[in-house]
């Protein structure tokens, strides 16, 4: 499909600066631009590429000021990154969509299937499962007994949804993700052997949730592990039993949340963040990569770093001291020598 700069501007509510009739039929990073490609500039770190990019159209923020002539056509919008994401969604929708039920897939006779299901080869839909309309289930995916899946859901290859779990509308579950495996529940006995505690709850995933590849969401011991509306989890994230994650919270790769912790809405967690069990994390909290959170965070909008995590201002002061430790150690050693010399003089 081809789009002109004018058509893109109209779709995004932006303005054209340059040739309104120039057309694009693909997308590219601004540093790898080529004729006929659409790029975007949101991070000032990449601003120098705009003066030499070969892309035909570049989306920029309204407040972008060029320091020298720009040969490409600009489309100015309020948020270049968000606008580019909208165009990518439009581009993805224009691609051919999978449809139909392929050979060697299985649907149990008791399962209820909505309209326009795509079911890939070797995918399996179990007893009493309920599948909504416009659902795509790719090859080797497994849908367990009594699972409920809403409309417009995509389940990619080899994803596994255990029995009794509930998935809302407009969700995406990427390849290899596991929803509803047993939580890590064991009781130690007098003989020091660990006895498994049956995990009889489920996982409830609300609307517009996306779960990355190889992420694992454990079922509750009792009740439900819950991912609220709009949650986004990156690849290799682990959510333990009875955790609840609030609306629109996002979590980067390799992060983990231990059992029964409750996380507020609109939180952001960097890669490899670890959160201890039975905690309460307030709304709007941000945690930097590799932060280790051992206790409740009660203040909304807090920003924490480090392990154990603490407020960003305290961590920055600590880091400033830490990087000067070699010099401080040397100075301390010099002072010790001076003190020792003074002792000798006094003793004489």
Q: What is the spatial distance between Cα 343 and Cα 66, in angstroms, rounded to a whole number?
A: 67
47 Cβ neighbours under 8 A, 6+ residues apart: 41, 64
ω into 308 cis (within 30 of 0): yes
DSSP reduced 3-state for 42:
coil
SS3 36: coil
Residue 242 and residue 218 in contact, taking contact as beta carbons nearer than 8 Å: no
In this structure, are residues 275 and 297 in contact, taking their beta carbons and an 8 Å threshold? Answer: no
Which residues partner with 250 through β-bridges?
A: 232, 268
Are 76 and 64 spatial neighbours (Cβ–Cβ below 8 Å)? yes
Active site residue 278: no
Question: Which one from 108, 140, 241, 344 is the annotated catalytic residue?
Answer: 241
Write out the H or E segment, with its range, that includes residue 339: helix 325-347
Q: What positions carry a catalytic annotation?
A: 241
């Amino acid at each position: 499909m081809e789009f002109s700069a004018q058509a893109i501007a109209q779709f995004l509510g932006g303005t054209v600066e340059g040739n309104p009739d120039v057309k694009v039929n693909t997308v590219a990073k601004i540093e790898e631009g080529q004729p006929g490609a659409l790029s975007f500039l949101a991070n000032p770190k990449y601003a120098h590429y705009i003066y030499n990019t070969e892309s035909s159209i570049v989306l920029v923020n309204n407040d972008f000021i060029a320091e020298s002539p720009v040969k490409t056509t600009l489309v100015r919008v309020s948020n270049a990154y968000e606008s580019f994401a909208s165009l990518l969604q439009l581009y993805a929708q224009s691609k051919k969509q999978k449809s139909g039920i392929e050979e060697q897939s299985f649907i149990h006779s008791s399962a209820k299937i909505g309209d326009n299901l795509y079911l890939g080869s070797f995918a399996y839909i179990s007893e009493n499962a309920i599948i909504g309309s416009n659902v795509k289930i790719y090859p080797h995916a497994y849908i367990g007994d009594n699972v409920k899946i809403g409309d417009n859901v995509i389940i990619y290859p080899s994803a596994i949804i255990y029995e009794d779990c509930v998935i809302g509308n407009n969700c995406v579950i990427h390849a290899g993700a596991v929803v509803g495996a047993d939580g890590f529940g064991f009781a130690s006995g007098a003989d020091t052997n660990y006895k498994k505690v049956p995990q009889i709850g489920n996982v409830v995933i609300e609307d517009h949730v996306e779960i990355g590849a190889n992420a694992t969401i454990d079922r509750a011991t009792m009740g439900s592990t819950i991912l609220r509306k709009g949650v986004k989890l990156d690849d290799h994230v682990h959510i333990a039993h009875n955790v609840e994650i609030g609306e629109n919270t996002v979590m980067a790769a390799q992060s983990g949340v231990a059992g029964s912790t409750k996380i507020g809405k609109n939180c952001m967690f960097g890669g490899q963040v670890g959160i201890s069990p039975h905690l309460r994390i307030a709304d709007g909290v941000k945690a930097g990569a590799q932060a280790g959170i051992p206790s409740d965070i009660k203040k909304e909008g807090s920003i924490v770093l480090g392990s154990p995590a603490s407020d960003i201002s305290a961590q920055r002061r600590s880091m400033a001291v830490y990087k000067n430790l070699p010099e401080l150690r040397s100075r301390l050693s010099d002072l010790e020598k001076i003190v020792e010399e003074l002792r000798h003089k006094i003793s004489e």
